[in-house]
Chain A
């Protein structure tokens, strides 16, 4: 393996965030802007979930017959997985509200251009 999975995930997360910020700043279409924002959110989620990765780790469910020491040494960290679920739900609802506003604004202006709608 050339690169460890965790490092690769972190780099991907960084790339997603940078691409997202770039898109938010420089794309004019509102829908494209929202997609870029989703990139930033996804990057953050990927980053969070990569924190719980453990090389050669096992699923963090304590099954009958497992030795406690083996479990405690090898189980991956469960907290980030729980957190990222919450974070995905928040991201989805934020995006729904944003798209809803964009629909209304598109009806009002007949356009999706950010410089036209959201300039001064």
Chain B
């Protein structure tokens, strides 16, 4: 089974969960595929910026993320399911975001 088929299957799964039973069109699948490739390549390029901290760390994380991305391949359907419009998930991410920001600023600046 090649990657295209895996993605098509995943999209169908997502469709079934959300109760949207229209056939998966070519366009929907290719959009998902583009989004998938975009997100993985952006992530990989962004990780290269770790070279400013430590080169070994950069190489390690690029390889690690590459492997993880291949293993977890269709990321985008999952990501899309997470970013839905229900208040519960939105407020959950807002609070998580608040926690991350406060922690990062507090420890990042005190120990940085």
In which size bucket is the chain B interface? under 10
B72 on the A face (CB < 8 A): no
Q: Which of B87, B91, B92, B95 sits near A119, CB closer than 8 Å?
A: B87
Shortest Cβ gap from A38 to chain B (Å): 16
Shortest Cβ gap from A111 to chain B (Å): 14
Contact A25 B95 (CB under 8 A): yes
Q: Which of B84, B85, B87, B95 sits near A114, CB closer than 8 Å?
A: B87
Q: In this complex, what residue of A is CB-closest to B84?
A: A120
What 0/1 pattern do residues 99 to 120 of A give for CB contact below 8 A with B?
0000000000000001100111
Residues in B whose Cβ lies below 8 Å from that of A118: 86-88
Contact A115 B88 (CB under 8 A): yes
**Contact surface of B with A, Cβ cutoff 8 Å:** 18, 84-88, 91-92, 95
19 contacts between A and B (CB under 8 A): A21-B95, A24-B91, A25-B91, A25-B92, A25-B95, A114-B87, A114-B88, A115-B86, A115-B88, A118-B86, A118-B87, A118-B88, A119-B86, A119-B87, A119-B88, A120-B18, A120-B84, A120-B85, A120-B86
